[in-house]
């Protein structure tokens, strides 16, 4: 990303509007922004101050929403969010309404609308576009693992949320893409749904249209009950907003998704309707934005690291620069393709960016350098010839490379949670010929290990004990992931294990069978099965040394639990004083009952919490003759059922 010029605050309204319009096109149309979100917001805020009626402020979105696919007109406009950058601005906004606020992370992904017809079938999905018209992405959204293609029949409805790439999956892709958001945007535009599915996108729901609710929290409860993944959410008071925001900032590196702020909404929908919306944003919601973590620096050198799959990855050595409170001297350059695409050269002035838990990476080239960068002709670890394969440079040793061995062993040990085998010890043991592949872990003897410097008897015995503990029983999904087969990460391993149950059944599966499983397309199924076939000798040798692979015992169809509350359904309204609503629902389910999503004639009980107001659910339940339980009555019923169970 390029920093704003030093004189940008002197620009007049026309220049500011032209700059915002240009950056809109680069962000929305091209998915290739040239300034950080923070700097973009600074431009917008400056334009609001200079000319609050500028036309571009009412048109945040692509200049041509139909360019990349069929156009979809939104039934309700997909508005932007107003922004705050400090606690005073946030509290000033919150003073405009009564009641609690809902706090959610602002996911840095792609906003998406999904519609279902009255039979519960997913019929269309679209990007936000310009807020009025978006792009049809139905085929690709239907391949996202946590987007249900069929929900309970009822009425036609629409859900909205953010399509994103989990950070764990982004890291599994081993530097093939520049950042998670652009990867998600590119995958949604992919013409081949199988290729889109292989990227591993996920969906967080944050809104529902077409179903009657009285609070935001009830939307999330409905979403969870219908198979969606609601975005993280929490009810907070006004005096908790800053503390809540700071908790997300502190957790940022540990989240499995990128965020660029925290969203606050009025929880009460009556208050939302009273506040209404402008043509640009709803008045009942606001985004408390994070500050940008980018800075210019100089690319001084490039080093090449070797992955466990033999890909040589460029790492930029830069002049020290402070990002997110830490001094950075190394940045990811993703792959050889990025180096070429950016026209990168040594001595170049670049912008380094740090987002969440991802290592700092190259965001943009501000000024070219004076020395060309060439791909290495030999592997820096084993000196085998290196060859350029499209966007990648690969070691040609065929796996007979110390760095690759260390990577394979490290992945295996981490997947199986074998403690104590860090990079230093793995390097030592590989160099000494003690470890060559994962089978060698199970041949380690304490007396052999104590021959190495700084390896005492206590540590040696501990390492051997760690290996023996794992050997006694490895869950099938964990074993599959530990093999290091391309494409066989946590999610795919879990799917195979849950479906086939045993290692023997997984190894006997055919491509035609695997491609029918959730999350698998033809290419991924073929890649995984070919990878497992290539690991056949390793698998056989692991079994031969006594590694026990435990069958998966997840119920094939986890239906209702048997218990005293079988056939009874419970719906909650108002705030429970004795426990969280989610805990109450879990206790009901554990006793065989059902946590209902809404009021109907089939509902057994409406439970009214002791705190807050009951809202419209109580009125509906009374009209329909549904039995109403006060919180103390519910707890008495629950405790009696638990005693019976």
Token readout for 274 is 């009273």
Nearest to 24 by CA among 58, 71, 49: 58
Catalytic residue (one of 48, 92, 106, 589): 106
Token readout for 575 is 């705030």
Burial of 317 (0-12, 13-18, 19+ CB in 10 A): middle
Nearest to 597 by CA among 268, 217, 303, 274: 217
* Spatial distance between the Cα atoms of 484 and 565, rounded to a whole number of angstroms: 45
Residue 175 in 3-state DSSP? coil
Give me the torsion for CA of 380, 381, 384, 390, rounded to 10°.
Answer: -60
Residue found by looking up tokens 């990349």 in the block: 68
Residue 201 in 3-state DSSP? coil
CB 193 within 8 A of CB 140: yes
Taking residue 638's Cβ as centre, other Cβ atoms within 10 Å add up to 22
259-266 and 234-236 beta bridge pairing: unpaired
Half-sphere exposure of 310 (CA within 13 A, CB side): 18
The strand pairing partners of 232, in sequence order, are none
Taking residue 5's Cβ as centre, other Cβ atoms within 10 Å add up to 9
* Spatial distance between the Cα atoms of 553 and 160, rounded to a whole number of angstroms: 34
DSSP string, 226-247: TT--BPP-EEE-GGGHHHHHHH
Which residues 6+ apart lie within 8 Å of 387 measured at CB?
Answer: 393, 394, 396
* Spatial distance between the Cα atoms of 312 and 340, rounded to a whole number of angstroms: 15
CB 392 within 8 A of CB 307: no
Q: Write b or e for each residue in 581-593: b if 16 or more Cβ atoms lie within 10 A of its Cβ, otherwise e.
A: beebbebbbebbb
* Spatial distance between the Cα atoms of 532 and 552, rounded to a whole number of angstroms: 18
| Catalytic residue list contains 322 | no
Half-sphere exposure of 429 (CA within 13 A, CB side): 29
Nearest to 62 by CA among 29, 23, 20, 30: 29
Q: How far, CA to CA in Å, does 632 sit from each of 10, 598, 608? A: 64, 21, 9
CB 547 within 8 A of CB 442: yes
Nearest to 176 by CA among 359, 335, 339, 349: 335
CB 318 within 8 A of CB 297: yes
Nearest to 204 by CA among 157, 275, 255, 266: 255
* Spatial distance between the Cα atoms of 531 and 524, rounded to a whole number of angstroms: 10
Token readout for 283 is 């008045």
Tell me which H or E stretch contains 91: helix 87-94
* Spatial distance between the Cα atoms of 187 and 117, rounded to a whole number of angstroms: 25
The length of the chain in residues reads 645
Could you give the residue numbers annotated as active site? 106
């Amino acid at each position: 990303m390029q920093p704003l010029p030093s004189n940008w605050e002197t620009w007049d309204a026309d220049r500011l509007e032209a700059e915002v319009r240009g950056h809109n096109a680069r962000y929305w149309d091209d998915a290739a922004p040239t300034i950080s979100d923070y700097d973009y917001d600074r431009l917008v805020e400056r334009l609001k101050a200079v000319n609050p009626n500028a036309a571009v402020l009412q048109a945040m979105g692509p200049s041509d929403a139909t360019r990349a696919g069929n156009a979809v007109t939104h039934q309700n406009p997909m508005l932007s969010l107003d922004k705050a950058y400090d606690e005073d601005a946030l509290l000033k906004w919150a003073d405009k309404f009564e009641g609690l606020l809902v706090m959610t992370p602002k996911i840095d992904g792609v906003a998406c609308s999904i519609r279902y017809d009255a039979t519960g079938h997913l019929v269309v999905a679209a990007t936000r576009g310009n807020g009025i018209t978006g792009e049809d992405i139905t085929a690709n959204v239907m391949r996202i693992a946590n987007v249900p293609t069929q929900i309970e029949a009822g009425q036609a409805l629409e859900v909205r949320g953010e399509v994103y790439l989990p950070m764990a999956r982004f890291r599994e892709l081993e530097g093939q893409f520049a950042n998670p958001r652009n990867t998600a945007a590119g995958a949604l535009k992919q013409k081949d749904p199988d290729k889109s599915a292989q990227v591993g996108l996920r969906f967080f729901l944050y809104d529902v249209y077409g179903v009657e609710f009285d609070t935001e929290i009830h939307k999330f409860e409905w979403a969870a009950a219908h198979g969606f993944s609601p975005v993280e959410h929490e009810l907070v008071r006004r005096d908790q907003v800053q503390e809540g925001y700071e908790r997300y900032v502190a957790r940022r590196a540990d989240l499995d998704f990128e965020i660029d702020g925290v969203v606050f909404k009025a929880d009460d929908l009556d208050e939302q309707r009273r506040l209404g919306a402008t043509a640009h944003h709803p008045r009942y919601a606001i985004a408390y934005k994070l500050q940008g973590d980018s800075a210019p620096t100089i690319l001084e050198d490039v080093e090449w690291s070797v992955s466990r799959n033999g890909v040589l990855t460029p790492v930029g050595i830069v002049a020290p620069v402070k990002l997110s409170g830490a001094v950075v001297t190394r940045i990811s350059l993703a792959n050889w393709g990025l180096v070429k695409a950016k026209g990168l050269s040594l001595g170049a002035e670049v912008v380094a960016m740090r987002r969440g838990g991802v290592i700092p990476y190259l965001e943009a080239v501000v000024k070219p350098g004076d020395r060309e960068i060439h791909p290495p002709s030999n592997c820096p670890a084993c000196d085998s010839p290196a060859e350029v394969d499209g966007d990648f440079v690969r070691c040609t040793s065929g796996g007979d490379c110390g760095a690759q061995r260390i990577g394979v062993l490290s992945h295996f040990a981490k997947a199986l949670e074998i403690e104590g085998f860090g990079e230093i010890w793995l390097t030592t043991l590989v160099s000494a010929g003690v470890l060559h592949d994962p089978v060698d872990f199970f041949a380690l003897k304490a007396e052999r290990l104590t021959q190495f410097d700084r390896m005492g008897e206590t540590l040696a015995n501990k390492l051997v004990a760690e290996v023996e503990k794992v050997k006694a029983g490895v869950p099938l999904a964990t074993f599959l992931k530990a093999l290091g087969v391309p494409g066989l990460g946590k999610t795919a391993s879990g799917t195979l294990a849950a479906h086939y149950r045993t290692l023997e059944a997984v190894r006997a599966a055919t491509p035609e069978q695997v491609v029918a499983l959730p999350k698998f397309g033809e290419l991924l199924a073929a890649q995984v099965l070919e990878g497992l076939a290539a690991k056949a000798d390793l698998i056989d040798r692991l079994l031969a040394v006594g590694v026990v692979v435990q069958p998966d015992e997840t119920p094939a169809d986890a239906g209702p639990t048997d218990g005293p509350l079988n056939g009874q359904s419970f719906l909650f309204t108002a705030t429970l004083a004795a426990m969280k609503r989610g805990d109450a629902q879990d206790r009901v389910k554990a006793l065989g009952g059902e946590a209902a999503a809404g009021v109907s004639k089939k509902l057994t009980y409406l439970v009214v919490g002791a705190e807050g107001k009951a809202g419209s659910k109580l009125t509906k339940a009374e009209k329909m003759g549904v039995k109403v339980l006060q919180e103390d009555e519910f707890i008495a019923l629950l405790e009696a059922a638990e005693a019976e169970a």
